[in-house]
Structure 1
Amino acid sequence: MTVTVRFAPSPTGYIHIGNTRTALFNWLFALKNGGRFVLRFDDTDVERSKSEYAEAIATDLDWLGVKPDRVEHQSKRFAVYDAAVEKLKSAGLLYPCYETTEELERRRKLRLTRRLPPIYGREALKQTDAERTAFEAEGRKAHWRFLLPNFKDDPFSPVRTEVHWDDLVRGPQTVDLASMSDPVLVREDGTYLYTLPSVADDIDMGISHIIRGDDHVTNTGAQIALFQALGAEPPEFGHHNLLTTISGEGLSKRSGSLSVGSLREAGYEPMAVASLAVLIGSSENVIAAADMQVLAEHFDPAATSKSSAKFDPAELDTLNRALVHTLDFEAVRGRLAALGIEGESAEAFWIAVRGNLGRVSDASLWWKIVNEGVHSTPDLSEEDIAFVRQAFDFLPPEPWDRQTWKIWTDAVKEASGRKGKTLFMPLRLALTGLSSGPELADLLPLFGREGTLGRRP
């Protein structure tokens, strides 16, 4: 059996870091098992689904390194769902219901007052053809419910019916179908709710494993029953914990909370985002994986905690710095060129500054300092200004290399008697205008002797 997984976002907004977690769990599971990854847009809600959101989701996944083997749109697959509906109707497993929302709510409250579980009592099954005709004459339209297999002979006397599965994340799970209402699969207007298209597509596309958020755990029992009703073997399931903001709030596509697009535009590395999205809230160490193969080695669905995990942007900053510090020049050449950083000195410049950058885009500041000099007056005392001016007299002749800094400062140290911070800090401020940054031994050859003299206060 070929492992086949799917990520099925609704294109009603931009995906955020929580959606990304689900996509990456599936992608890495396929990667580890030599499987296939299907990107399936749940766009049956034609009013809210937008093509620009679908395009943005595909772009975000590609940026992260997720490369689908197949892309599908549920809006183009209604024939598959219509066939599934007819199969269920023919088997007597899909029945029409004419109750209004208000009527259903009254029944729910009545059951609660009687201390009964607030589940649907299958009253529609008792309706005669004449009653249904009368409802339709009133202008009512039926919604259709799936008859759960939670009874022996009498559907009005449900009995405990356990559905078991060994969850890839949570271990052995059990759901009692008698504790659930028959799920609505088709709305009054004939449109489909999520469940039926999802199951029908999973069957048609040969999905072997479904990995998703743990907010779907309670749905799994009914979905397994629906797989079986349609004559299919249910796939294996895994339900990972959800991510929240650092304050514990849920993430939302509509609010744009931590959207992948915003993280990309902010200059984060895709593997920093992917590493944190996957490893946070698990027993694995959160590392900055260099690529998907490395991340796959650290990925274990069963190592995921059962409680929600908080996504802290500060952790993302830490991982991003770690990755940027290891990027070679070829990996960033194009991005640096887009920032105007190119030419013969570009590679030496990158090697000199990368260890001090939080994001690749931060290199722009140092490129200006190297090529244009100090942009603000260094914060030096009169005594330090006099010291620096004298120090510039000891600049060695060219050619310069990484040893030039030591040769120069040794000569200045001997002439001035200064050492440590009192020696190095005034020189750093004069040369860069900043109190910290890349090693001056690396920067000095980039300045050149003439460029260095131009920084003399």
Structure 2
Amino acid sequence: MTVTRFAPSPTGYIHVGNLRTALFNFLIARKQGGTFILRIDDTDPERSKEEYVDAIKQDLEWLGLTWDRVERQSDRLDRYADAADKYRDMGRFYEAFETPTELDLKRKKQLNMGKPPVYDRAALALSDDDKARLRTERGDGVWRFKLDQERIEWTDGILGDLSIDAASVSDPVLIRADGQVLYTLASVVDDTDMGVTHVVRGSDHVTNTATQIQMIHALGATAPAFAHHSLLTGPQGEALSKRLGTLSIRDLRARGIAPMALLSLMARLGSSQPVELRSSIDELIEGFDLSQFGSAPTKFDENDLLPLTAHVLQGTDYASVKDRIAAAGVPDDLAQAFWAVVRDNISVLDEVDGWWALMRDGADPLVDDEDADFIRAAMPMLPEEVDGDTWGQWTSAVKDATGRKGKGLFMPLRKAVTGRTNGPDMAALLPLLQVIKARTY
């Protein structure tokens, strides 16, 4: 059976980069009728916060990405200790005591000599007395996994055949000096114990994957099928990492982005398939094909979410947005008519606030200098009682009186009444405006 996982760290809110990983693993599991595990990577007690665990679940639920079970790495520390003991017993785990400064000097020396900046395994030459002395002087050391210095090969689900020379990679640190288990060890043990069959993650993890394959094999297990998706950039190809804090799922939700707009974009972004708005997660599952994705950096522009969200809103019925419209202050007797008028003219749901403010309070008129006399002549012709026929009657009267027609007639009137150059059909909008006749033009 197919088993996938999403393993976020509860040290902050998940963002679009995290979502891409979560979504791919979710879709693979669902398409194969398998299991999708939400695995909370909370082995760092200082940075992990329960509020972020709750937030991660809330964001995934909002998107409709349901999980089959939750695992917490903080509950599995005994299993990681067991795996560490097993590595020690087979001579694949050793303690190292270099300080960060010493490691940095070693890397610089290797680079100056034209060599890869790989840990030199000096700790392997330490005697028991040396280790005891260093523990006294410096405290406990870190624990490194001893890689077999051979080529590590696998067929990646996106990148194709990959081969990494383990001699060009430092023996990974799996346990810090303070005893904290690091991601690499926890992930290997979890993937092995939980029978994870497929892992999709960012291409920045390719080297980690190579080391983890060796670690998994050392435990006598079979490695999952790995795939590494491209990393996101900004719309101009700029690094997105510094902006990810403003691209959290929570912030996009607060800005009124529709869940299916976000999912539809992320399920196709970076693939050879066109981005198409889907109406349900089932449609996303049916159309998902990991082989269609490429390795090139993928441009993400949050503005691309706006037309997709607008399409979602155009097909959204009043009942689904009733509470949000009430929160904007729209009276119950006007709410349905209000939604019918504005839903084709908003990109995100939060824009209902601005439209209701316009209808309730009016807007500063936009009157070009060349239209000033025209507007002064036209406004007194607007009937006191306004209904669905008023716009047609009013524009006909103004046309007869001024000789204006077409865009030269309609646009100045729209701008004078709404303060905007575009918007809903004026015949439907006029009856909802509350203050037109009270204005001075």
TM-score range, shorter chain: 0.7 to 0.9
| Alpha carbons of structure 1 residues 427 and 141: separation in structure 2 relative to 1, 3 Å | closer
| Alpha carbons of structure 1 residues 110 and 429: separation in structure 2 relative to 1, 3 Å | closer
Contact 2:40 2:72 in 1 (8 A): yes
Contact 1:284 1:298 in 2 (8 A): no
Whether 1:251 and 2:241 are equivalent positions in the alignment is: yes
Match of 1:387 among 372, 378, 382: 378
| Alpha carbons of structure 1 residues 422 and 104: separation in structure 2 relative to 1, 3 Å | closer
Residue by residue over 1:239-298, the C-alpha shift from the partner in whole angstroms, topping out at 9 and shown as x without a partner, is: 001112345123158x72322222222222222233333333322222333332333344
> Which range moved further: 41-50 or 255-264?
255-264
| Unpaired stretches in structure 2, ≥5 consecutive residues | none
CA distance in 1, matches of 2:281, 2:209: 29
Contact 2:118 2:169 in 1 (8 A): yes
Please give the secondary structure, in 1, of the residue aligned with 2:95. Answer: strand
Whether 1:374 and 2:362 are equivalent positions in the alignment is: yes
Aligned to 2:67: 68
Contact 1:431 1:455 in 2 (8 A): no
**TM-score using structure 1 length:** 0.85
Aligned to 2:261: 272
What letter matches 1:243 in structure 2?
L
Q: Cα offset for 1:133?
A: 3.2
What is the RMSD computed on CA atoms of the aligned residues? 2.9
Aligned to 2:320: 331
Residue by residue over 1:302-329, the C-alpha shift from the partner in whole angstroms, topping out at 9 and shown as x without a partner, is: 2223121232233233333333233222
Q: How does 1:161-180 map to 2 (within 5 A)?
A: 161-180=150-169
Contact 1:168 1:237 in 2 (8 A): yes
Q: Cα offset for 1:438?
A: 0.3
What letter matches 1:260 in structure 2?
I
Residue by residue over 1:13-51, the C-alpha shift from the partner in whole angstroms, topping out at 9 and shown as x without a partner, is: 222221222122222222322222222221211112222
Q: Cα offset for 1:415?
A: 6.3
> Which range moved further: 301-310 or 224-233?
301-310
What letter matches 2:56 in structure 1?
I
> Which range moved further: 27-36 or 71-80?
27-36
Aligned to 1:205: 194
CA distance in 2, matches of 1:187, 1:452: 69
CA distance in 1, matches of 2:344, 2:111: 63
Contact 2:330 2:356 in 1 (8 A): yes
Whether 1:322 and 2:304 are equivalent positions in the alignment is: no
| Alpha carbons of structure 1 residues 368 and 115: separation in structure 2 relative to 1, 3 Å | closer
Whether 1:303 and 2:292 are equivalent positions in the alignment is: yes
| Alpha carbons of structure 1 residues 390 and 342: separation in structure 2 relative to 1, 3 Å | closer
Contact 2:118 2:168 in 1 (8 A): yes
Q: Cα offset for 1:215?
A: 0.1
| Alpha carbons of structure 1 residues 120 and 361: separation in structure 2 relative to 1, 3 Å | closer
Whether 1:436 and 2:431 are equivalent positions in the alignment is: no
CA distance in 1, matches of 2:151, 2:16: 34
| Alpha carbons of structure 1 residues 349 and 179: separation in structure 2 relative to 1, 3 Å | same
CA distance in 2, matches of 1:420, 1:239: 56
> Which range moved further: 165-174 or 430-439?
430-439
What letter matches 1:384 in structure 2?
I
Match of 1:285 among 274, 293, 308: 274
Q: Cα offset for 1:233?
A: 1.0
Aligned to 1:130: 129
Aligned to 2:408: 422
Aligned to 1:77: 76
Whether 1:186 and 2:175 are equivalent positions in the alignment is: yes
CA distance in 2, matches of 1:425, 1:105: 67
CA distance in 2, matches of 1:281, 1:129: 52
CA distance in 1, matches of 2:128, 2:363: 85
| Alpha carbons of structure 1 residues 78 and 410: separation in structure 2 relative to 1, 3 Å | same
Q: Cα offset for 1:426?
A: 4.3
CA distance in 1, matches of 2:12, 2:258: 22
Q: Cα offset for 1:408?
A: 5.6
Contact 2:365 2:415 in 1 (8 A): no
| Unpaired stretches in structure 1, ≥5 consecutive residues | 151-160
Contact 2:233 2:239 in 1 (8 A): yes
Contact 1:373 1:432 in 2 (8 A): no
Aligned to 1:44: 43
CA distance in 1, matches of 2:121, 2:255: 53
Please give the secondary structure, in 2, of the residue aligned with 1:20. Answer: helix
CA distance in 2, matches of 1:86, 1:252: 39
Aligned length: 437
Please give the secondary structure, in 2, of the residue aligned with 1:279. Answer: coil
Aligned to 1:154: none
Please give the secondary structure, in 1, of the residue aligned with 2:315. Answer: coil
CA distance in 1, matches of 2:135, 2:15: 43
Q: Cα offset for 1:91?
A: 2.1
Please give the secondary structure, in 1, of the residue aligned with 2:422. Answer: coil
CA distance in 1, matches of 2:102, 2:422: 70
Contact 2:97 2:138 in 1 (8 A): no
Contact 1:18 1:277 in 2 (8 A): no
Q: Cα offset for 1:209?
A: 0.9
Percent identity for Structure 1 against Structure 2:
44
| Alpha carbons of structure 1 residues 343 and 94: separation in structure 2 relative to 1, 3 Å | same
Q: How does 1:94-105 map to 2 (within 5 A)?
A: 94-105=93-104
Please give the secondary structure, in 1, of the residue aligned with 2:267. Answer: helix
Please give the secondary structure, in 2, of the residue aligned with 1:166. Answer: strand
Contact 1:341 1:364 in 2 (8 A): no
Q: Cα offset for 1:439?
A: 0.5
Residue by residue over 1:169-216, the C-alpha shift from the partner in whole angstroms, topping out at 9 and shown as x without a partner, is: 212222222322221212222221210011111122221111110000
Contact 1:209 1:235 in 2 (8 A): yes
What letter matches 1:178 in structure 2?
A
